[in-house]
Structure 1
Amino acid sequence: MNKPLLISLAAATILATSLNAQSMYERIQSMELNIKKMQDEISTLRASGDEKSDDESANDESEEESDEEDSEDETKSTVEEADSDDGEEEDDEEEEFNAQEEIEEINESIFELNKATNGNKLKLGADYRFAIDNMQYKMADGSDAGNDAFMTNRLWINMDWKATDNLSFSGQLAYNKAFGHRSGWNSNIPGMETFDWVTNENAYDDLLRVRSAYFLYKNDTFMGTEIPWTFSIGRRPSTNGHLINLRDDDGAASPMGHTINVEFDGISSKFSFEDLTGIEGMYVKFCAGRGGTNANPKFFAVNPQNGSVVQTGAPYATQPDDLGDIDLGGLIFVPYDNGQYAFATQYYYANNLIDADIVYPGGVPTMNGMKTVGGMHSFTANFTVNGIGDEWNDYLDDTFFFISGAMSVTDPKSDERMLYGKNDLTGATTVAGESVTGHSVWLGLQMPSFITEDGRWGVEYNQGSQYWRSITYAEDTNIGSKLATRGSAYEVYFTEPLVEDILTFQIRYTYIDYEYTGSNGFFGGDTGSAVLIKDLTPMTGSTVTVDTAQDIRAYLRYRF
């Protein structure tokens, strides 16, 4: 095979796959087929070179065993042939050199083709979901509200690139848009829908935003010890975490979905102690991040109340009179996980948490921006069983059970109330700065479908106390986070594959019975205040407080 033919083949490959294939998938398949052919040619060339070396060795051995009789004639013949042999060796060396050149050029062509087929670029994936929700509410005053057919488009564009065995990048672009939601009128876009924690989980417009973007470094040793570890920084994959991912038919993100489910910018580092201790699955993971930043705008700001220009001074400098940075730090500790039985724990502390700053000039409630009210401790522990029993039957072997318990403890500023107003702790006027504790329990069961081999169905229940507070605003439940419920929540879902694992269908029913107000509020005594819903009157908010909520959701989801 000669060099021009190889070059022609590489060029023809690129042209043919670019012009003749009818889809990107077919083009990539065609390119990969030609890469395989070229790799086979390399193997053939190398094998040919090896055969030539073997033949030369055989000839040498034959010459050494030749009869020594007529040595004078042999010597004369050898002398006469020496010049000829030298010429042949030069030809062989030149031929070997040319073959090596051809191999290098084929390798270079394969490298370029690999780049063209994403071998050296981001690998992209699409995840599109159409959903329709029937949402019905019963208000505290007995009135009804709802939406019979709330339709949404959700698109995730996944990006991955493994640069080396130790270093990789992952990212995800997303939009979540309600059908027809682009009226051009600002009042049709609620103010908190673009809050950083939930910007890709709330359905409102068709802007494509970054949902996650981070790099991951991993190694099998840490500072000379046999401790596998990882380090990551960026916009974290902190939604759809452990256990809540089951009903969402997703892989689990890092956090435990019982207590945290929001988009987040931060860092994490995981250390595995399984080899060191001999305890299966043991690891600890440290996490930290920032959920709100105090910084001047680069140029100037505009007061949303009156439209006046606010001079900000130094760009991105902190402002003493503005909200403090919201920072969160915590750890996940898994003492045991053998694949069937697992026990996991999580703790975090978040500072400078916020609430609406509502004032009452003339007795009329008026929003005066946001304010900082204090911090919060959060504790979670769960036990999971992935396969009930010891091979009792195939159905139980493929059944997943979990139970999770959580606690929240507020740490209010001395002049602020967290999760209670002025009269809802003891019935009398209360002092600011008092800490309150909340509890929540959550259990669920996911089982194989009776319809298909890969389908799943599940049931879940959770209950939260009066002062329970999670940070689960990005939970994929349009009627509000079920895990934030101060009261009881029930859920059942069926997920079935239609075309392998590419096209799936799900129907899900969620029912929430609130006992106290503020389940989906923030952390202060205004939006987060927990009072008995049955005691509300029209004067104290019964007309705008949800008593029960239910959501019937059906979706079609394409992933590839």
Structure 2
Amino acid sequence: DGDATPMAFMDWPFDGLTLGYAWNWGAAALGDSRLRFCYGRGFEAGLQTEEMASIDDMDFAGFSWDVIKKDEMFAYIQTFKAFNLINYPNFQDPIINANFGTMSGMGDRKNLGNILHTAAAFHNKVSNLHYFLAGGWSQTQPDADGMFNDYAAMAMRMAGPNTENEDGYSVYAGVRYDLDNIGLKLGAEFNYGTENWLAMSPGHDDIYMSKLAARGQVYEVYGLYDLPTGEMISKYAKTFIRFGYQHYEFDYFGSGDWNMYAYDLSDPGDQAKMMMMGLDPVEQADQVYLTFEAFF
């Protein structure tokens, strides 16, 4: 029940395994530590026939390290690599799944290359004030089909697939003040993503889109109101109402997507390219939310 959005630069549903080892640093001020190796499959290509175009499974592998965990102080590092990224996933509707490549103009489903990703976060508490700071780095490593392709320039034969590695960065910070006597917690958060930033976060629960994937800035204010019903069920249970407001300001097109070039929304030339492709990107978005949440 801490931050409005957990530090979820990596929030991709996958099947896999985790192996870890935990220890105590031996110094009271440093507390405990835990290192985990994680591996999983984020896309299963399924059975292949000789007549089908070969598609490799999309896998993830990396390390998750709770460097320091002492009371409210928490330092965390996460690094992983995504292998054989696909240009678009499977869809539950069989008609859409079979025809999406034609309808979207993206062609057959195929692998595009790899992504290297690293993030770190630090959280602590002073009296009733919580604060945290997190940062992320992503790097695309495309194959011959490219990532962040300028499809408008490619259509005019002015460019080919972008096979260069592209780096992106994000910063994420927030504070929260707990009013324990009335069970109310009030907080504010800010995050910013650069032109080629990628957050692997399709599992987000934001109403509009993953705020941590935004290429631009997102401002959020929120509140949490604890309910006593959780403790009535179990001493481990928590129930609360979450309410808040988010404001998105996008600087570049395609947040969360590695297929298309991150067109600059303020550049007239890039605006003309997007218009040529029939794209009308959102520059700002606002949303208010109210949820009831329970943890057991």
- What is the TM-score with the length of structure 1 in the denominator? 0.44
TM-aligned CA deviation for residue 486 of structure 1: 0.4
Cα 1:372/1:475, change in 2 over 3 Å: same
Alignment match of 2:205 (pick from 462, 476, 479): 476
Q: Which has the larger radius of gyration?
A: 1
Q: Does 1:412 align with 2:142?
A: yes
> Given that residues 291 and 327 in structure 1 are in contact (C-alpha distance below 8 angstroms), is that contact kept between their aligned partners in structure 2?
yes
Deviation at 1:513, TM superposition (A): 0.6
| Counterpart contact for 1:461–1:489, Cα < 8 Å | yes
Aligned counterpart, 2:96: none
What residue identity is the alignment partner of 1:552?
V
Structure 2 residue matching 1:400: 3-state secondary structure: strand
**Residue of structure 2 in register with 1:324 after alignment:** 56
1:454, CA displacement in angstroms?
Answer: 2.1
Question: How far apart, CA to CA, are the structure 2 residues paired with 1:552 and 1:321?
Answer: 44
Greater per-residue strand proportion: 2
Instruction: Quote the residue 1:398 is aligned against.
Output: 128
Could you tell me how far apart the structure 1 residues matched to 2:287 and 2:244 are?
8
Q: Counterparts of 1:427-438 in structure 2 under 5 Å?
A: 429=159, 432-438=162-168
Q: Note closer, same or farther for the CA distance 1:455–1:369 as it changes in structure 2 (3 Å cut).
A: farther
User: Quick check: 1:480–1:520 contact (8 Å CA) kept in 2?
Assistant: no
Q: How much has 1:356 moved relative to structure 2?
A: 4.4
**Percent identical residues:** 22
Equivalent residue number for residue 24 of structure 2: 274
Cα 1:359–1:283 change in 2 (3 A) is: closer
The verdict on how the C-alpha distance between 1:276 and 1:295 changes in structure 2, with shifts beyond 3 A counting, is farther
Matches of 2:254 and 2:120 in 1, distance apart? 24
Aligned-residue offset at 1:417: 1.9
Matches within 5 A, 1:305-454: 321-356=53-88, 366-385=105-124, 387-388=125-126, 397-413=127-143, 415-421=144-150, 429=159, 432-449=162-179, 453-454=182-183
Quote the Cα distance in structure 2 between the aligned partners of 1:347 and 1:547.
31
Residue 432 of structure 1 and its aligned partner are, at CA, apart by 3.4
> Could you report, residue by residue, the CA deviation over 1:348-390 in whole angstroms, capped at 9, with x for unpaired residues?
00011122499999xx9634342211100001111111x22xx
Residue from 246, 263, 273 that aligns with 2:3:
246
Give 1:449's aligned amino acid: L
Counterpart of 1:291? Answer: 42
Between the aligned partners of 1:268 and 1:335, the Cα distance in structure 2 is 17
Q: Could you tell me how far 1:406 is from its partner in structure 2?
A: 0.7
Residue number among 265, 283, 288 corresponding to 1:552 in the alignment: 288
CA–CA separation in structure 1 for the residues paired with 2:255 and 2:229? 39
1:515 aligns with 2:251: yes
Distance 1:555 1:348, change over 3 A: same
Distance in 1 between the 2:52 and 2:292 partners?
49
Q: Write the distance in 2 (CA, Å) between the matches of 1:335 and 1:505.
A: 31
Q: What is the Cα deviation at residue 335 of structure 1?
A: 2.8
Question: Partners of 1:356 and 1:380 in 2: how far apart?
Answer: 24
Where do 5+ consecutive residues of structure 1 fail to align?
A: 1-242, 298-311, 314-318, 389-396
Task: Judge conservation of contact 1:494–1:508 (CA < 8 Å) in 2.
Answer: yes
Match of 1:487 in 2: 216
CA 455–402 in structure 1, closer or farther in 2 if over 3 Å, else same: same
How many angstroms apart in 2 are the aligned matches of 1:557 and 1:404? 24
Q: What is the TM-score with the length of structure 2 in the denominator?
A: 0.80
Asked if 1 retains the 8 angstrom alpha-carbon contact of 2:12 and 2:42, the reply is no
Alignment partner for residue 496 of structure 1, among 225, 229, 235? 225
Runs (4 or more) in structure 1 with deviation over 6 Å come to 357-361
For 1:418, what is the secondary structure of its paired residue? coil
CA–CA distance in structure 2, aligned partners of residues 360 and 555 of structure 1: 36
Asked if the contact 1:416/1:524 (under 8 Å) is kept, the reply is: no
Q: 1:499 to 1:333 in 2, by over 3 A?
A: closer
**Would you say the 8 A contact 1:333–1:345 is kept in 2?**
yes
| Secondary structure of residue in 1 paired with 2:4 | helix
**Counterpart residue identity of residue 261, structure 1:** D
Match of 2:109, SS state, is strand
Report the count of equivalent residues: 271
Report the Cα distance in structure 2 between the residues aligned to 1:506 and 1:360, rounded to whole angstroms. 39
**Are the structure 2 counterparts of residues 368 and 422 from structure 1 closer, same or farther at C-alpha, using a change threshold of 3 Å?**
closer
C-alpha contact 2:147 2:161 (8 A) present in aligned 1: no
Q: Paired residue for 1:466, among 189, 195, 199?
A: 195
The answer to whether the 8 Å contact 1:293/1:325 transfers is yes
Unaligned 5+ segments in structure 2 are 90-98, 231-237
Larger proportion of helix: 1
Please state how far the C-alpha of 1:544 moved relative to its aligned partner. Answer: 3.0
Write the distance in 2 (CA, Å) between the matches of 1:558 and 1:440. 30
Equivalents in 1 of 2:241, 2:34: separation in Å? 35
1:419 Cα deviation after fit:
2.3
The root-mean-square deviation of aligned C-alpha atoms, in Å, is 3.2
SS of the equivalent of 1:246 reads coil
Secondary structure of 1:483's counterpart equals helix
SS at 1:539's partner residue? Answer: helix
Residue pair 1:533, 1:542 contacting (<8 A) in 2 also: no
What letter matches 1:443 in structure 2? A
**How many Å separate the matches in 2 of 1:454 and 1:263?**
33
- Change beyond 3 A, Cα 1:454–1:276: same
Distance 1:442 1:360, change over 3 A: closer
